[in-house]
Amino acid sequence: MQILPDVQIIQRPGIVEFGWGHPAPELLPAEALARAAALTLGGDWHAALTYGYGQEPGRLIELIRLRLGRLEGVTPPAEQLMITAGISQALDMLCAQLSRPGDVVLVEAPTYHLALRIFRDRGLRAVAVPGDGQGIHVDAAEAMLHMLRSGGERVAFLYTVASFGNPSGATLTAERRYALAALARRESLMVIEDDVYGELWYDAPPPPPIYNLAPGGPIVRVGSYSKVLAPGLRLGWMLAAPDLVRRCSSCGVLDSGGGVSHFTAHMVAAFLELGLLDPHVEGLRAALRSRRNVMLTALSRHMPSGCTWNPSLGGFFIWVRLPTDTDSAALLPAAEAAGVGYLPGERFFAEGGGQNYLRLCFSLLPPDEIAEGVRRLGAALRRG
């Protein structure tokens, strides 16, 4: 009998895998998390092992909101914050609360490909809004919103990864963040701000979160510990208007299950109380910055003329533009035969496009493999 796999990732022998947006195993703080787990089980262990409160442990909510206030200068009230099982679960929960099948979701082009799958699972139609190296075009979003509404369609929300976006690495400028917050208020347009990479900046921090420009308004901000601690924790958080937090935290699933990832929430609270998160994030930034630099150097050295890429000021990815006559999906079998994998750009577009783009992840691999993988990719491109 074949045993099912334990983990999502598949690393094929002989192939440098740039397709997986995962942190490297050596970057996961296993020993520090073991300390947090020991503290959790050595203290008020019953609180961690019983059913939790729907909004999740008040202790963790207090620690998160105080940390956000220290880092960003805006301390959200507890009634605007709840714990989620990562951003993916938060998105699905928000779809259930804010939309109905057949609704439209506005997304930037390109956008996170698995968010598109979550929206499709809920029967939603994603409509692309163009963007550039400075993020989504807010004026185009407004024009699209008016066109859809005038045609009788219901727009449930706009979804954006505003800081170091997946896949493009683009960061929405401060000017556009203010414009998007103003659009949300003026048009009663719900905006979901996916802030999974906000702390992973390598040259300068991003502008203030969109949520902080209109707290409690028609804006939801979702964050996660998947990238800054470990994906397997399945723990994140959501900031939203108090009414939406109450609706989400009192839904049947959370009421029946006693919250989400309750033991993990207590572990992360202990991690924060031990003062382990800030130094870990600083070390993680340094390690990822170094890998980013290795990939940028290798791209400059090995990619053929006609290829361009973003500077990747944060996050996990570098978004590469190939010559217009090169299809990244068609090239992939030849690249894998040469020993390198990636994700073709077309996966990140809601309504087609992106054939001459590809996404490379630098967070998973050691520097020598990154350099070798880019060399193999360049050679595959030259061979056509």
Alpha-carbon span 251 to 293, nearest angstrom: 45
In this prediction, residue 48 has a pLDDT band, given cuts at 50, 70 and 90, of confident
Give burial (CB, 10 Å; 0-12/13-18/19+) of 148.
Answer: middle
* pLDDT (0 to 100) of residue 168: 96
* pLDDT (0 to 100) of residue 266: 94
What would the CATH number be for the domain defined by 30-273?
3.40.640.10
> Per-residue pLDDT tens for 111-170?
999 999 999 999 999 999 999 999 999 999 999 999 999 999 999 999 999 999 999 999
β-partners of residue 195 are none
Domain 16-29+278-383 CATH (choose: 1.20.1640.10, 3.90.1150.10, 3.65.10.10, 3.30.110.60): 3.90.1150.10
In this prediction, residue 54 has a pLDDT band, given cuts at 50, 70 and 90, of confident
Interstrand relation of 155-160 and 135-136 (parallel, antiparallel or unpaired): unpaired
Alpha-carbon span 278 to 67, nearest angstrom: 10
In this prediction, residue 214 has a pLDDT band, given cuts at 50, 70 and 90, of confident
CATH 3.90.1150.10 domain position(s) in the chain: 16-29+278-383
Percent of the chain exceeding pLDDT 70 equals 100
CATH 3.40.640.10 domain position(s) in the chain: 30-273
Residues 240-253: what's their mean pLDDT? 92
In this prediction, residue 259 has a pLDDT band, given cuts at 50, 70 and 90, of confident
